Amino acid sequence: MTRDMTVYTRLRDRLSVTPMGAPKGDDFIEILSMLFTPEEAKFALVLPFIPAPLSDVARAAGISTEDARRIMDAMSDKGLGFLIDYEDQSYGMLVDVVPGIYEFPIMKGTLDIDYDRLKELWRRYHENGWGDGEPLGGPMPLGRVLPVEETIEPALKVLTRDSIEHYIRSAPFLSVSNCSCRTTIEGCDRPREVCLGVGIGAKYLAERGIARLIDVDEALAIVKTAHEAGLVSVSSNAEDRIGFICHCCPCCCGQLAVATVHGRYDLRPVGSNVAVMDGDACTTCGVCEETCPMDAVSMDDAAVDPDKCIGCGLCVSACPTEAIALIPRYPAPDVPPNMFEWGRRATEAKGTLNEYLKELSVPIDTGGEQSDD
């Protein structure tokens, strides 16, 4: 019997107003149908993108709270939503496409689905620019670059928002999981278990089998391994309560590939710093040119292109003659204070702010019948 895809089309349309958006076309509809059962997809149509009392969501869906919890629990096990218990109350929320629906099922890797087909569909998503219209959602980058710690001048270390070690040491929980991008795209053989969860979300992902909890020492060791492999540290684009520190490559990661694959350097994530080269100290050995993930370094004129540089510091740590340094970027990137504000700015830039704000609360009337709890 052919499955009715209408509910998945409606869910795609709902996801399209979020900061990262959702692409049009049959591929994404198929992705949703692989991950969500029809019952879950219907429930997701009334599930907000921020935590809401599960009893309210159940009422909007026209089902009992017990059924809502059963559905929410199954979705959370797949990484499609969060089920949160707090002070004798249960809350539920739907995750965005990125980060969320794309990453978490791939990170878990044990769902009863055709992973080969799922990866094929996500690869097409990657090739088409990770979104609808603007690559990777729009003009407000999802992430920001954190430099290699050793490349930050001591005088600049007062900017704790640029310090990976600061975020790691101050996090109540830390987790690590496989990079969904390299697992899916398979464009290189760089390390995969380097995707760090930071904060309460890290604990939740571990409880759901999507990640594993780690301590500070292991987290710092993972960062070191990632940098030695030429991976870029990219965190949530917020100053406070970042949720992740990815370690990205230019061939597989959508955040860097928006520039390296799709040529949209204006949409790349950047950090607070930019690399500059001392032409007199440079021996044109080419190490920095080979190390740069963004093709921002040229040995022809011994210079760094600031419009391509992301301030990762990999070239600085690789240079044998200390001919490159990081200096503050001017103008400095406008970093939102938290991810909620990032979402507001991102959807405002996309022109979907009003629609998105509506999806942050439980709908009052969905046309469904209310059931008794």
**d(Cα 78, Cα 61) in Å, to the nearest integer?**
20
Contact criterion met (CB below 8 Å) for 245 and 234: yes
Radius of gyration of the chain (CA): 21
| Strand, helix or coil for residue 342 | helix
**d(Cα 156, Cα 314) in Å, to the nearest integer?**
17
Contact criterion met (CB below 8 Å) for 190 and 231: yes
pTM score, whole prediction: 0.89
pLDDT at 156 over 60: no
Maximum Cα interatomic distance, the chain, rounded to a whole number of Å:
77
Intervals of CATH 1.10.10.10 along the chain = 6-133
Cross-strand partners of 146: 233
Residue 307 to residues 8, 86, 207, 330, Cα–Cα distance (Å): 40, 46, 41, 11
Confidence at residue 69, expressed as pLDDT on a 0 to 100 scale: 95
The beta strands (E) that lie in 21-78 are given as 52-53
**pLDDT (average), residues 15-35:** 89
Least confident of 41-45, 134-138, 178-182, 221-225: 134-138
Work out the mean pLDDT of the chain and round it to a whole number.
88
168-184 pLDDT, tens per residue? 999 999 999 999 999 99
Confidence at residue 363, expressed as pLDDT on a 0 to 100 scale: 86
Q: How confident is the model at residue 367 (pLDDT cuts 50, 70, 90)?
A: very low
The beta strands (E) that lie in 108-155 are given as 143-146
At the topology level, CATH places domain 6-133 in Arc Repressor Mutant, subunit A (1.10.10)
pLDDT at 54 over 70: yes
Of 131, 124, 95, 151, residue with least CA distance to 20 = 131
332-344 pLDDT, tens per residue? 888 999 988 999 9
**Residue 177 φ then ψ, to 5°:** -145, 170
Cross-strand partners of 246: 234
**d(Cα 272, Cα 274) in Å, to the nearest integer?**
7
Confidence at residue 35, expressed as pLDDT on a 0 to 100 scale: 97
Confidence at residue 371, expressed as pLDDT on a 0 to 100 scale: 40
343-361 pLDDT, tens per residue? 999 899 888 999 999 999 9
Confidence at residue 5, expressed as pLDDT on a 0 to 100 scale: 82
**d(Cα 363, Cα 50) in Å, to the nearest integer?**
13
**d(Cα 240, Cα 252) in Å, to the nearest integer?**
27
120-145 pLDDT, tens per residue? 999 888 776 665 555 555 677 889 99
268-279 pLDDT, tens per residue? 899 999 999 988
pLDDT at 71 over 70: yes
pLDDT at 366 over 70: no
Two tokens, residue 38: 């029809």
User: Please, what is the end-to-end C-alpha distance for the chain in angstroms?
Assistant: 33
Confidence at residue 365, expressed as pLDDT on a 0 to 100 scale: 58
pLDDT higher at 82 or 133: 82
Q: How confident is the model at residue 258 (pLDDT cuts 50, 70, 90)?
A: confident
148: left (phi over 0), alpha (psi -120 to 50) or beta: beta
- Enumerate residues 6+ apart whose C-beta is below 8 A from 57: 43, 46, 47, 48, 68, 72, 92, 362
- Enumerate residues 6+ apart whose C-beta is below 8 A from 177: 107, 193, 195, 197, 205, 210, 211, 212
Of 104, 116, 114, residue with least CA distance to 77 = 104
Confidence at residue 195, expressed as pLDDT on a 0 to 100 scale: 96
Confidence at residue 134, expressed as pLDDT on a 0 to 100 scale: 55
Q: How confident is the model at residue 70 (pLDDT cuts 50, 70, 90)?
A: very high
Confidence at residue 106, expressed as pLDDT on a 0 to 100 scale: 94
| Strand, helix or coil for residue 193 | coil
**pLDDT (average), residues 282-301:** 89
Confidence at residue 12, expressed as pLDDT on a 0 to 100 scale: 93
Report the share of the chain in percent with pLDDT over 70.
Answer: 91
